[in-house]
Protein backbone atom coordinates (compact mmCIF):
# COMPACT_ATOMS: atom_id res chain seq x y z
CA UNK A 1 0.00 0.00 0.00
CA UNK A 2 1.58 3.28 -1.14
CA UNK A 3 1.66 6.50 0.85
CA UNK A 4 -0.56 9.41 -0.25
CA UNK A 5 1.20 11.82 -2.57
CA UNK A 6 1.40 14.67 -0.03
CA UNK A 7 2.96 12.37 2.54
CA UNK A 8 5.47 11.08 0.00
CA UNK A 9 6.35 14.69 -0.77
CA UNK A 10 6.88 15.54 2.89
CA UNK A 11 8.93 12.39 3.45
CA UNK A 12 11.01 13.20 0.38
CA UNK A 13 11.67 16.72 1.67
CA UNK A 14 12.91 15.41 4.99
CA UNK A 15 15.18 12.84 3.30
CA UNK A 16 16.72 15.46 1.01
CA UNK A 17 17.21 17.91 3.87
CA UNK A 18 18.77 15.25 6.08
CA UNK A 19 21.22 14.32 3.32
CA UNK A 20 22.09 17.98 2.70
CA UNK A 21 22.57 18.61 6.41
CA UNK A 22 24.86 15.59 6.69
CA UNK A 23 26.86 16.77 3.68
CA UNK A 24 27.28 20.25 5.16
CA UNK A 25 28.45 18.77 8.44
CA UNK A 26 30.89 16.25 6.96
CA UNK A 27 32.44 18.64 4.45
CA UNK A 28 32.66 21.49 6.90
CA UNK A 29 34.10 19.54 9.82
CA UNK A 30 36.42 17.44 7.68
CA UNK A 31 37.89 20.50 5.99
CA UNK A 32 40.51 20.55 3.27
CA UNK A 33 43.28 17.94 3.55
CA UNK A 34 46.80 19.22 4.02
CA UNK A 35 50.17 18.49 2.44
CA UNK A 36 53.25 17.90 4.56
CA UNK A 37 56.84 17.60 3.34
CA UNK A 38 59.34 15.38 5.15
CA UNK A 39 63.04 15.44 4.37
CA UNK A 40 64.45 11.94 4.04
CA UNK A 41 67.52 9.94 3.09
CA UNK A 42 66.61 7.30 0.48
CA UNK A 43 69.34 4.97 1.71
CA UNK A 44 67.90 4.71 5.21
CA UNK A 45 64.38 6.18 5.30
CA UNK A 46 62.58 3.56 3.27
CA UNK A 47 59.10 4.21 4.62
CA UNK A 48 59.21 7.83 3.47
CA UNK A 49 60.25 6.77 -0.02
CA UNK A 50 57.57 4.06 -0.05
CA UNK A 51 54.89 6.72 0.48
CA UNK A 52 55.05 7.37 -3.27
CA UNK A 53 51.83 6.19 -4.97
CA UNK A 54 53.66 3.86 -7.36
CA UNK A 55 55.34 1.92 -4.51
CA UNK A 56 53.54 -0.74 -2.52
CA UNK A 57 54.87 -1.05 1.01
CA UNK A 58 54.44 -4.71 1.92
CA UNK A 59 55.93 -4.02 5.36
CA UNK A 60 52.87 -2.16 6.68
CA UNK A 61 49.13 -2.20 6.30
CA UNK A 62 47.61 -5.41 4.98
CA UNK A 63 50.46 -7.84 4.28
CA UNK A 64 50.18 -10.04 1.18
CA UNK A 65 48.60 -13.45 1.60
CA UNK A 66 50.92 -16.34 2.31
CA UNK A 67 50.75 -17.72 -1.24
CA UNK A 68 51.47 -14.33 -2.80
CA UNK A 69 54.30 -13.73 -0.32
CA UNK A 70 55.82 -17.13 -1.07
CA UNK A 71 55.56 -16.49 -4.81
CA UNK A 72 57.13 -13.05 -4.51
CA UNK A 73 59.96 -14.43 -2.36
CA UNK A 74 60.80 -16.82 -5.19
CA UNK A 75 60.65 -13.97 -7.72
CA UNK A 76 62.81 -11.77 -5.49
CA UNK A 77 65.43 -14.51 -5.20
CA UNK A 78 65.37 -15.89 -8.74
CA UNK A 79 64.11 -12.87 -10.64
CA UNK A 80 61.03 -14.77 -11.80
CA UNK A 81 58.16 -16.83 -10.46
CA UNK A 82 55.80 -18.90 -12.57
CA UNK A 83 53.14 -21.04 -10.96
CA UNK A 84 49.60 -21.11 -9.65
CA UNK A 85 47.95 -19.25 -6.78
CA UNK A 86 44.45 -20.13 -5.68
CA UNK A 87 41.93 -17.35 -6.39
CA UNK A 88 44.69 -15.19 -7.87
CA UNK A 89 42.26 -13.42 -10.21
CA UNK A 90 39.45 -12.88 -7.74
CA UNK A 91 41.28 -11.91 -4.55
CA UNK A 92 42.97 -8.53 -4.17
CA UNK A 93 46.76 -8.47 -4.24
CA UNK A 94 49.29 -5.74 -4.94
CA UNK A 95 50.63 -7.80 -7.87
CA UNK A 96 47.32 -7.14 -9.68
CA UNK A 97 47.17 -3.45 -8.84
CA UNK A 98 48.15 -1.33 -11.83
CA UNK A 99 49.13 1.58 -9.57
CA UNK A 100 52.29 -0.15 -8.43
CA UNK A 101 55.57 -0.42 -10.32
CA UNK A 102 57.70 -1.03 -7.23
CA UNK A 103 57.36 -2.84 -3.93
CA UNK A 104 59.19 -2.55 -0.63
CA UNK A 105 59.49 -6.18 0.39
CA UNK A 106 61.53 -7.55 3.29
CA UNK A 107 63.58 -4.36 3.48
CA UNK A 108 64.48 -4.15 -0.22
CA UNK A 109 62.96 -2.38 -3.21
CA UNK A 110 61.96 -4.30 -6.32
CA UNK A 111 60.65 -3.19 -9.66
CA UNK A 112 58.18 -5.81 -10.77
CA UNK A 113 55.74 -6.90 -13.42
CA UNK A 114 53.06 -9.50 -12.90
CA UNK A 115 50.71 -11.35 -15.21
CA UNK A 116 47.70 -13.02 -13.63
CA UNK A 117 45.43 -15.25 -15.71
CA UNK A 118 42.97 -17.22 -13.63
CA UNK A 119 45.14 -19.04 -11.12
CA UNK A 120 48.23 -18.85 -13.34
CA UNK A 121 50.71 -16.24 -12.14
CA UNK A 122 53.98 -14.95 -13.57
CA UNK A 123 56.03 -12.42 -11.58
CA UNK A 124 59.27 -10.87 -12.79
CA UNK A 125 61.38 -8.70 -10.49
CA UNK A 126 64.46 -6.54 -10.61
CA UNK A 127 65.99 -5.54 -7.29
CA UNK A 128 66.72 -1.83 -7.14
CA UNK A 129 68.64 0.34 -4.74
CA UNK A 130 66.49 2.76 -2.80
CA UNK A 131 68.41 5.71 -4.20
CA UNK A 132 67.88 4.60 -7.80
CA UNK A 133 64.14 4.36 -7.14
CA UNK A 134 64.14 7.81 -5.53
CA UNK A 135 66.04 9.27 -8.48
CA UNK A 136 63.59 7.73 -10.93
CA UNK A 137 60.52 9.03 -9.12
CA UNK A 138 61.78 12.39 -7.87
CA UNK A 139 60.75 15.65 -9.49
CA UNK A 140 62.99 18.68 -9.17
CA UNK A 141 61.82 21.40 -6.80
CA UNK A 142 61.46 23.85 -9.70
CA UNK A 143 59.04 21.50 -11.48
CA UNK A 144 57.02 20.51 -8.41
CA UNK A 145 53.46 21.73 -7.94
CA UNK A 146 53.13 25.08 -6.15
CA UNK A 147 51.43 23.70 -3.00
CA UNK A 148 54.23 21.13 -2.76
CA UNK A 149 56.85 23.87 -3.06
CA UNK A 150 55.12 25.85 -0.33
CA UNK A 151 55.07 22.84 2.01
CA UNK A 152 58.81 22.32 1.47
CA UNK A 153 59.73 26.00 1.81
CA UNK A 154 57.71 26.64 4.97
CA UNK A 155 58.16 23.28 6.64
CA UNK A 156 54.51 23.51 7.70
CA UNK A 157 51.37 21.76 6.42
CA UNK A 158 49.59 23.61 3.62
CA UNK A 159 46.11 23.15 2.23
CA UNK A 160 45.87 20.54 -0.51
CA UNK A 161 43.78 21.85 -3.41
CA UNK A 162 43.42 18.45 -5.02
CA UNK A 163 44.27 17.55 -8.60
CA UNK A 164 47.96 17.93 -9.37
CA UNK A 165 48.80 19.89 -6.22
CA UNK A 166 50.84 17.07 -4.74
CA UNK A 167 54.24 16.01 -6.07
CA UNK A 168 55.01 12.87 -3.99
CA UNK A 169 58.83 12.79 -4.21
CA UNK A 170 60.87 15.96 -4.70
CA UNK A 171 64.61 16.52 -4.88
CA UNK A 172 66.24 19.90 -4.24
CA UNK A 173 70.03 20.18 -4.27
CA UNK A 174 70.44 16.47 -3.45
CA UNK A 175 67.92 16.74 -0.61
CA UNK A 176 64.89 14.50 -0.95
CA UNK A 177 61.39 15.22 0.34
CA UNK A 178 58.39 12.93 0.68
CA UNK A 179 55.16 14.89 0.35
CA UNK A 180 52.16 13.21 1.92
CA UNK A 181 48.50 13.95 2.56
CA UNK A 182 47.49 14.70 6.12
CA UNK A 183 44.56 15.91 8.21
CA UNK A 184 43.12 19.40 7.64
CA UNK A 185 45.07 22.38 8.87
CA UNK A 186 43.69 23.66 12.16
CA UNK A 187 40.74 25.90 11.41
CA UNK A 188 40.84 25.40 7.64
CA UNK A 189 37.43 23.83 7.38
CA UNK A 190 36.16 23.31 10.89
CA UNK A 191 35.05 26.93 11.26
CA UNK A 192 33.14 26.72 8.02
CA UNK A 193 31.45 23.56 9.25
CA UNK A 194 30.23 25.17 12.44
CA UNK A 195 29.02 28.21 10.48
CA UNK A 196 27.08 26.09 8.01
CA UNK A 197 25.66 23.69 10.56
CA UNK A 198 23.23 26.17 12.24
CA UNK A 199 22.01 27.31 8.83
CA UNK A 200 21.38 23.71 7.86
CA UNK A 201 19.47 23.04 11.06
CA UNK A 202 17.42 26.23 10.63
CA UNK A 203 16.66 25.34 7.02
CA UNK A 204 15.55 21.84 7.96
CA UNK A 205 13.37 23.18 10.77
CA UNK A 206 11.82 25.84 8.55
CA UNK A 207 10.90 23.45 5.76
CA UNK A 208 9.60 21.00 8.34
CA UNK A 209 7.29 23.66 9.78
CA UNK A 210 6.08 24.61 6.29
CA UNK A 211 5.44 20.97 5.42
CA UNK A 212 3.51 20.32 8.62
CA UNK A 213 1.59 23.58 8.19
CA UNK A 214 0.70 22.66 4.64
CA UNK A 215 -0.54 19.28 5.77
CA UNK A 216 -2.68 20.92 8.48
CA UNK A 217 -4.21 23.36 5.98
CA UNK A 218 -4.93 20.52 3.57
CA UNK A 219 -6.75 18.56 6.26
CA UNK A 220 -8.69 21.68 7.32
CA UNK A 221 -9.88 22.30 3.76
CA UNK A 222 -10.99 18.69 3.45
CA UNK A 223 -12.79 18.96 6.80
CA UNK A 224 -14.76 21.99 5.63
| Residue 82 neighbours by CB distance under 10 Å | 14
For residue 135, name the pLDDT band (cuts at 50, 70, 90).
very high
pTM of the entire structure? Answer: 0.68
> Can you tell me the distance from the alpha carbon of 68 to that of 65, in angstroms, rounded to the nearest whole number?
5
Q: What is the pLDDT of residues 183-224, one digit of tens each?
A: 886 544 444 443 444 545 454 445 454 454 455 455 555 555
> Can you tell me the distance from the alpha carbon of 209 to that of 220, in angstroms, rounded to the nearest whole number?
16
Residue 7: what pLDDT?
A: 54
For residue 12, name the pLDDT band (cuts at 50, 70, 90).
low
- The residue ranges of every structural domain in the chain are 5-31+189-223, 41-145
**Mean pLDDT of the region 83-103:** 92
Q: Is 39 helix (H, G, I), strand (E, B) or coil?
A: strand
Residue 212: what pLDDT?
A: 46
| Residue 204 neighbours by CB distance under 10 Å | 17
Amino acid sequence: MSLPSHRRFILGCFVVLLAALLAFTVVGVAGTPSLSATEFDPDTDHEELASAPSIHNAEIGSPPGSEVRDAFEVAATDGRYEGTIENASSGYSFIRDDRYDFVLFDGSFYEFEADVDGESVVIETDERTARSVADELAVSFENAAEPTQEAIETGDPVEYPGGDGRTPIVVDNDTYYAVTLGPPKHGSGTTLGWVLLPFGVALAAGVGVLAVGGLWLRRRRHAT
